[in-house]
Chains A and B, each alone.
Chain A
Amino acid sequence: MEYQTQQHEPLFSKKTIGRILLFSILVFSNGVIQTSFFPAVTLFPASPDLLLSAVLGLALFDGERSGAIAGIGAGMLAISLGGAGTALLPVFYMMTGYLIGIFARINFKKNIISWFLYVMLAAAARGLLSAFYTVAAESGVNILITLSSVLVPEFVMTVLFSVFNYFLSRLCVLPFRKNSELE
């Protein structure tokens, strides 16, 4: 089976600039909310990784190129706004956006069920990365406590709140894609 890489438009076209602007706003907003709103509300057991679901949303609806670039931006934002635990987040987000973009384009539909499947997969990988980073960076880490107090709550919150980004990223991609391409 021959897979085709995603076609792209010229860098300085109106569409591309519009995409960059709109997607930047989406990623930026998610980064800001993730690092300010959620930590302030004690009701939530953990802050969801909204940046991850924003990257996934753009990858799902606009393809691997947008996913990868948004991933780099999300990673930088995560490090800059203090919400990140590891410096490798830009690589992780970029790879996640790229891979999910490819899978979504060649294999799966873009409905809410497959969305949750992608999010759970990516959130699990994110949790794994955090766990590795924590174990490597800290001494005397109790993995069970880390799992129950950080990783699982973060996973659940990320999956739950990702539903907003499913619709928001779809809305952001709508001006640049035909409706049929978003199904």
Chain B
Amino acid sequence: MNGFKKFFTGRFFLVTFAVAMLVSIVPSVLFAMGQGDYVKATLQLIASPFQWCFTKVGEGLNGYVIYFRTVNELYDENAALKKELDENRDKVYDADLIREENDFLREYLGLKAEHSDFEFQDASVIGRESTNYRTVYTLSKGSLHGVEKSMPVITADGLVGYVTEVGPTYCRAVSVTETATAVGAYVERSGVIGVVEGTYSLRFDGLCRMIYIDPDSDLRVGDKVLTSGIGSIYPRGLKIGEITDIVPDENNRTLTAVILPNAVFDGISKVMIITSYDLSSD
């Protein structure tokens, strides 16, 4: 241990230790006295150009580091934006659905105001079975919702058809343009009455016809045709369509009016089923 001790008592150690203490303390003392440290300033002066060079090299390297780091950040940001975009698409889709439902409910309210005696059951078109001979709509409400066979199906635009088949949670309906339908109707302007029915030849053009019209009746193209409520399942006053053509019947002395239905059958997504109405009302 004595041998080791001489490392710390030797002249070299004592001198270097003293110098180290001096260079540690003197700059601090000079700084405290407000004096400049010339050694420090000189060293800094010599080192400055080299420091500048190495800083530039470091910054250059840092540029690459930042580039790759930025690429990663951009990748993450892109993924986040894609996610946000998907969420926004969902929101827009939801908003469209809500808007559609809102429009439907507004129309529903209009109808409700117009026909205060009607009880409605709203339904969505969940299926459309289309063959060459017949178009059948499958609706989202059934007997559990109070829907029964032969109930009228309408939209705010006008009469769609009637319910032909009822299941617990669904029902099927055919349109007024189908051949199986017959609706008691009248012309709004003149009160001329007749029967609206679907025919095989007209259904492909989305049309139907009004028959049994007296040849002396006051009829014009553009007249509006409504349900009469006489002898049928439909209440009075539902819009059926507009007369587009008037032709004499070939087989008897009556007139036939070709009608363009108000309801747009191709684009129907929501309908209302009239579950109850007052027979005595006009």
Q: Name A's B-contacting residues (CB within 8 A).
A: 1-3, 5, 8, 28-29, 31-33, 35-43, 64-65, 68-69, 71-72, 75-77, 79-82, 87-91, 93-95, 98, 102
**Which 10 A-B pairs give the minimum distances between C-beta atoms?**
A40-B58, A80-B43, A36-B51, A36-B54, A94-B20, A3-B3, A37-B54, A37-B58, A80-B40, A36-B55
B27 lies within 8 A of A65 (CB) = no
A89 / chain B contacts, CB cutoff of 8 Å: 24
Chain A residues touching B, majority SS = helix
With A5-B7, A36-B55, A36-B58 known to touch, is A43 a contact of B24 (CB < 8 Å)? no
How far apart sit A64 and B25, CA to CA, in the bound complex (Å)? 23
Given A41-B65, A81-B51, A98-B16: 17 more A-B contacts, CB < 8 Å? A3-B4, A5-B6, A28-B46, A28-B47, A35-B51, A40-B58, A43-B62, A71-B20, A77-B47, A79-B40, A80-B40, A80-B43, A87-B24, A87-B27, A90-B24, A91-B17, A91-B21
Q: Name B's A-contacting residues (CB within 8 A).
A: 3-4, 6-7, 10, 12-13, 16-17, 19-21, 23-25, 27-28, 39-41, 43-44, 46-47, 50-55, 57-59, 61-62, 65-66
A102 lies within 8 A of B23 (CB) = no
With A72-B16, A80-B47 known to touch, is A3 a contact of B27 (CB < 8 Å)? no
Chain A nearest CB: distance from B247 CB in Å? 87
A32 lies within 8 A of B51 (CB) = yes
B43 lies within 8 A of A77 (CB) = yes
Ordered by A's residue number, 13 sampled pairs between the chains whose C-beta atoms are within 8 Å are A3-B3, A31-B47, A32-B47, A37-B54, A37-B57, A40-B59, A40-B61, A72-B16, A75-B23, A80-B47, A94-B17, A95-B20, A98-B13
A42 lies within 8 A of B24 (CB) = no
How far apart sit A64 and B39, CA to CA, in the bound complex (Å)? 25
How far apart sit A37 and B60, CA to CA, in the bound complex (Å)? 10
